[in-house]
Amino acid sequence: MHIPDGYLSPVTCAVLYAAAAPFWAIALRRVKRLLNTKLVPLLSLFAAFSFVIMMFNIPLPGGTTGHAVGVGIATIVLGPWGSMLAISVALLIQALFFGDGGITAFGANCFNMAIVGSLVANAVYRTIGRGAAITSPRRVVAASLAGYAAINAAAFCASIEFGIQPLLFHDASGAPLYAPYPLSIAVPAMMIGHLTFAGLAELITAGGVVAYLQRSDSSLLKLTAPDAPDKNSIEKSGWRVTRPLWIGLAALMILTPLGLLAAGTAWGEWSAQDFADPTVREQIANASQNQAPPAEPPKGLVRLSSVWTAPIPDYAPPFMNSAEFGYIMSAMFGTGLIIAVFLLGGWIAGLINRGSKNAPPETGND
Partner 1 sequence: MNPVLNNKLKSTPPRKKRRGSFIERTLSTLIRKTERALFAEELARKEGFLQKLDPRVKIIGLLALIVDATLARNFFTIIFIFAIAVILAILSHVPLRMLAVRTWLSVLTFTGTIAFPVIFITPGDTLFRLPLLGWTITAQGVTSALYLLLRVETTVTLSLLLVLCTLWTHVLKGLRVLGVPVVFVVILGMTYRYIFVMLETARNMFEARQSRLIGSLDAREGRRIAAASIGVLLTKSFYLNTEVFMAMQSRGFRGEVYTLDDFKMRGRDWLALAAFLLLALAGFWFGRQDSLQSFVNLHF
- Asked if 305 touches partner 1 (CB under 8 A), the answer is no
Binding mask 101-140 for partner 1 (x = CB under 8 A): -xxx------------------------------------
Minimum CB separation of residue 178 from partner 1 in Å reads 7
Q: From the CB of residue 36, how many other CB atoms can be counted at a distance below 10 Å?
A: 8
Q: From the CB of residue 91, how many other CB atoms can be counted at a distance below 10 Å?
A: 25
Minimum CB separation of residue 172 from partner 1 in Å reads 5
- Asked if 44 touches partner 1 (CB under 8 A), the answer is yes
Applying CB under 8 A, among 26, 40, 340, 341 the residue interacting with partner 1 is 40
What residues contact 270, with CB distance under 8 A and at least 6 apart? 280, 284, 293, 301
Give the number of residues in contact with partner 1, rule: CB under 8 A: 75
Minimum CB separation of residue 160 from partner 1 in Å reads 17
Residue type, 336: G
Applying CB under 8 A, among 16, 84, 87, 95 the residue interacting with partner 1 is 95
- Asked if 188 touches partner 1 (CB under 8 A), the answer is no
Minimum CB separation of residue 183 from partner 1 in Å reads 14
Applying CB under 8 A, among 5, 183, 195, 335 the residue interacting with partner 1 is 5
Minimum CB separation of residue 30 from partner 1 in Å reads 14
Q: With CA atoms as reference, report the closest residue to 3 among 149, 163, 148.
A: 163
Site for partner 1 in 204-233 (CB under 8 A): 204-205, 207-209, 211-213, 216-217, 220
Residue 6 zone, left/alpha/beta (φ > 0; ψ -120 to 50; rest): left
No. of H helices and E strands in the chain?
Answer: 13, 2
CA dist 148 and 39 (Å) reads 28
Quick one: which H or E segment has residue 59?
Answer: strand 58-59
CA dist 78 and 25 (Å) reads 17
Site for partner 1 in 6-35 (CB under 8 A): 6-10, 13, 28
Site for partner 1 in 72-91 (CB under 8 A): 73, 77, 89-90
The answer to whether residues 172 and 137 touch, using CB atoms and an 8 Å cutoff, is no
Q: From the CB of residue 207, how many other CB atoms can be counted at a distance below 10 Å?
A: 22
